[in-house]
Amino acid sequence: MKLLSNSETLDKYLAGKRKQPTLRFSGRRARLAKRNPNTTGTDAHSGSESVPRSAPHSHLCNGQLVGFSVRQFGKSSAYTACFNSPDGRRLKRETHQTRLPAAIDAARAMIEEEYNPKPQAVAPEKATWDVAIDRLTKRLGTSGNRTTTMGYYLKCIRLVRGYSTGPDDITPSKAAAWRDEIMSKPGRRKKRPSAHYVAGIIKGASALWQKWLIDDLKLVTANPWEDVQPPKADKLPVKYATDEMIEQFYAWIAERFGDWPFPKLFLSTKAYTGCRLMDLCSLASPQLRDGRLVFPADLTKGRKERAVPLDDELFDALDGFKGPTWLWEGYIPGLKAALQEKGLPSHRTLDAFAPQRLYFWIESLFADYRKAFPDRTVLTTHMFRKRAFTLAWQKGVDARRASIAYGCNVDTLMRHYVSMDEQQVTDDVFELMTGKKKAKKKSEG
């Protein structure tokens, strides 16, 4: 037997200490190790020194081995995952699992989420008003909206753009400040805007931001007009064109243009059909047929075709006036002749017909009338549409049927287009309910 020196005996002893035993598991730990091959620790030990002895489990994430433990604290039956964050902080996360295998899987998912954070959302670049207007114009041009809709939104932008560099620069505080300033600042006519006007602009701006700038174009992320309180306003009575007002207007037309029949024919058609001004200006000649005046779906605001039956006299008058292409294109030579007969210049009147030009001519005609008679009741083109609704109501036509015939929402019809004696309506309702007429008060004396 060979005797070893003291140094050889020490080296052999240390070599035996450095040798790591091979650990074998059976039962639940073996099944866990087989199910998670990247697991190390006591459930599948690989001998790596990167795993601390205090971590019974580990997870490989992005090439980095992360040790973790799953424990139950206190009286809670749910397991808590404990592991270190990428910057070395000790983290505890509730797994909300009461079974160990499910808790271990939940802990691995938490480690993946912690070591692979989601990229932060990049805020959209702040768009200037020029960019916003360009994007909005192009989008509305391809979305099927009417040109009047685009004009209304551009009007809203013109009113508010002076208070910011872009739509994203308007905050709820700035929006409320705009409301207060415009309510106290006289406009072009040296008058302050009405509460109804300002409320309409606030409503329109809110719709513009939410529907187009946020949801569709993705230019901004918040609607500053959403919570801006519009100014309170009294309910205005509905005013329509009465027989007396129309007779006065026709008399002024006769003084200005003589016996020219166009203005009376145009406005009679508007009052009869109850249509909007631009819809009537845009009618083509083929849309007068079979005793009807047909408003196509792409022309009306409600996107529905409306065929209005005409009486024989009105149909014959329109049929004799219509031009080769447009229903109203004959007004241009008639206007020139009327001006020349009155000795007025007509050389600036264009020969080409355009519905928009006719629209502005009619509006300017009513503006001249209001300027000539400032003391008379204001008369507008839209009051002829209200006349049609009011006459239908006075003749007992059901509001829902009238809304279909004239192309208008029934609530809008009753709120903005029908002029009614509310006291008489109240008396009629209670008479039907009680069967008794309201007693009239005896006059004193």
CATH code, domain with 288 = 1.10.443.10
Q: Would the pTM of this model clear 0.85, i.e. be above it?
A: no
- Supply the pLDDT for residue 130: 93
Are residues 336 and 264 part of one domain? yes
What CA–CA distance (Å, rounded) separates 52 from 391? 91
Averaged pLDDT of the chain? 83
Helix (H) or strand (E) holding 178: helix 172-184
Are residues 299 and 265 part of one domain? yes
Are residues 262 and 387 part of one domain? yes
Enumerate residue ranges in the chain where pLDDT < 50. 1-4, 6, 10, 14, 17-26, 29-30, 33, 38-52, 441-445
Are residues 300 and 393 part of one domain? yes
- Supply the pLDDT for residue 439: 54
User: Facing residues of 288 across strands?
Assistant: 293
* Per-residue buried b or exposed e for 177-195, using 16+ beta carbons within 10 Å of the residue's own CB: ebbeebeeeeeeeeeebee
Are residues 414 and 347 part of one domain? yes
DSSP 326-354: BTTTTHHHHHHHHHHHTT---TTS-SS--
Are residues 133 and 111 part of one domain? no
What CA–CA distance (Å, rounded) separates 348 from 334? 14
- Supply the pLDDT for residue 204: 93
Confirm whether 230 is domain-assigned.
Answer: no
Are residues 177 and 304 part of one domain? no
Residue that is last in its domain, among 50, 83, 115? 115
Confirm whether 417 is domain-assigned.
Answer: yes
Are residues 388 and 250 part of one domain? yes
Are residues 148 and 47 part of one domain? no
Confirm whether 210 is domain-assigned.
Answer: yes
Spatial contact of 36 and 81, defined as CB atoms under 8 Å apart: no
Confirm whether 305 is domain-assigned.
Answer: yes
Are residues 350 and 418 part of one domain? yes
| CA dihedral (159, 239, 369, 278) positive or negative | positive
DSSP, collapsed to helix, strand or coil, labels residue 359 as helix
* Cα–Cα nearest to 408, from 426, 425, 424, 392: 392
Residue that is last in its domain, among 194, 214, 234? 214
- Supply the pLDDT for residue 35: 54
Place of tokens 């990229």: 119
User: Facing residues of 166 across strands?
Assistant: none
- Supply the pLDDT for residue 383: 93
Are residues 268 and 203 part of one domain? no
What CA–CA distance (Å, rounded) separates 300 from 279? 6
Confirm whether 1 is domain-assigned.
Answer: no
Confirm whether 254 is domain-assigned.
Answer: yes
* Cα–Cα nearest to 67, from 78, 76, 58: 58
Are residues 84 and 164 part of one domain? no
- Supply the pLDDT for residue 45: 38
Confirm whether 235 is domain-assigned.
Answer: no
* Cα–Cα nearest to 332, from 353, 362, 359, 317: 353
Confirm whether 234 is domain-assigned.
Answer: no
Spatial contact of 67 and 51, defined as CB atoms under 8 Å apart: yes
Number of domains making up the chain: 3
pLDDT in tens, 367-399: 999 999 999 999 999 999 999 888 888 888 888
Range of the domain at 39: 25-115
